[in-house]
Structure 1
Amino acid sequence: MTDTVIKIDSLVKRYGELIALDHLALEIKQGEVFGLLGPNGSGKTTTINCLLSLLSYDKGTIQIFGKDMSPTAYDIKRDIGVIMQNVAVYDELTVQENIDYFCGLYITDKEQRKQYVEEAIKFVGLEDFRKFRPKKLSGGLLRRLNIACGIAHKPKLIILDEPTVAVDPQSRNKILEGIAELNRNGATIIYTSHYMEEVEQICTRIAIMDKGKKIAEGTKEELTAMIKNTETIKVTLHELPDEVLSEIRSLPHIYSAEVEDSTLTVSCSGGKHNLIRVLEILQDHDVHIGRVTTEQPTLNDVFLEITGKALRDKGE
């Protein structure tokens, strides 16, 4: 049996003149937590909808569990759990009734379903809210209910599209811990998020999409190795004479040094002792310094350099 859970090859989706997916290729292995990143309009949601056969596409192939995916491939769909960004539960049903309903779409045995529903309630920490209706739940609890409805039938493949948008920190941590546990229990997970720190925390491999194309793919370490920046040094100071700044800029492995709001920011590409060299120059010129930090590149740096865009608008 193949360990490839999803194989997408040369996927093309057009909306008139707009090409939403441009010969997209992805392969996701058993047991991965696969992050799918991209700015708004990059094609992430279109990819998921094609993957689930909710959208037809113009060209390409999609295989899940080694079989061709189609709208009527119910044997495949039975092993997939989907948690979309928009919460989809029934307002007239309680927490327990909602989970029971969605679990019942896949699990017909009543005793087994009862057990699965109870396990899902405990998994998302809604034991004290089982008789509440959705309108009585906070945003974070509602997200947890949405997840419980999507995973109660114990799917092998779970797709989570922005599951932590607008939730409180406690619920966010509970959701992220839950995703890690689902993965430890054997589920393969596709995860999309605007929160780069979440992707860094839980994803084993990541693909970055833009304009319907996959423009980079790899582990966090492989992606950060693709960009020019290898280290960012920040030093707070009162003032920095121009000649000292010029001396710092002339150091090897430094491609940018700027001062803004009393902070010197130095961007490095390669080299092992950049911080020591910068501090030596400042010390030689008796520059009074405050806080000093050095940072390795993050996924956000990778994303910004590769796409030219921020992943998350600060206003969201």
Structure 2
Amino acid sequence: MPLLVLQRLVSTIPVLLVVAVVVFLMLRVSGDPAAIIAGDTATSAQIEAVRQAFGFDRPIWEQFLAWIGQVLQGDLGESLFTGLPVTTLIAQRIEPTLMLALTTIVFSVLVAVPLGVLAAWRSGTWIDRAVMVFAVLGFSVPVFVLGYGFMYVFSIELRLLPVQGYTSPFEDFGAFAQGIILPTLTLSCIYVALIARITRASVLETLNEDYIRTARAKGQVERTVLFRHALRNAAVPIVTVIGLGVALLIGGVVVTESVFNIPGLGRLVVDAITRRDYPIIQGLILFFALIYVVLNLMIDLAYTMLDPRIRY
């Protein structure tokens, strides 16, 4: 197992290197970075001053080595507008995003896995069709449409939940719980649809195996057959799609935080794009990519716990 962990860690290095190169080149391929940072109304002299100040007049390989050296030291640059380090801005905004992502993942797994198992167990019935219709709708309806719809029904019409805003759970847990419900429901729709659909397909395939018929022939209750035998042996594809769904989660957070006015990393991305604050954009893309790679590494290692045969 230690050797397997080491191999997986080494395999992430090329991925992170490619991500770093893409993030570095992102500003360069969009045009003259000095002109972009200086703004549309800047004169030639001002653009040249920005080029010298940021080192854009040096060869690109020197710029990359200098930038990657800063990144390896934990320095993602400074905001062009606030002057604060990007790492400081990420630290200030990470709590709302982390709380939203955590509640979304927990809620989605708790809802989607039983739904998928139920749909597989009742394959061909109205329950199965209802779950599949929900899965299709979950992928079809945009996140912002769901957000405004939930906001209109539960906040404006029924007046049960706050419209927007975020309260830290460490300050007022009750206010946090009320404020996080609608964003979680909005962001969970796509995630629940994805996990439920894959769970159904995986469990349905497992239910046709010989050991399932043997378990039923021994007189085990159906709930034990479904969750102890079928779901356990169908867990690898389900865990895989949970990991891949993190990409959807990252993209959905940007939209959801904008809709519900949550001061997290998603809002920080939108504000940085609006103001052309490229150090923040580069830093956040690199940060999100790192999170995605680490989560997939953890899921890859979880395969060995679910199916020891994968180790060899």
Q: Which has the higher contact order (CA 8 A, sep 6+)?
A: 2
User: Could you say which structure has the higher helix fraction?
Assistant: 2
The answer to whether the superposition gives a TM-score over 0.5 is no
Normalised by the length of structure 2, the TM-score is: 0.24
TM-score for both structures, normalised by structure 1: 0.24
Task: Say which structure is richer in strand.
Answer: 1
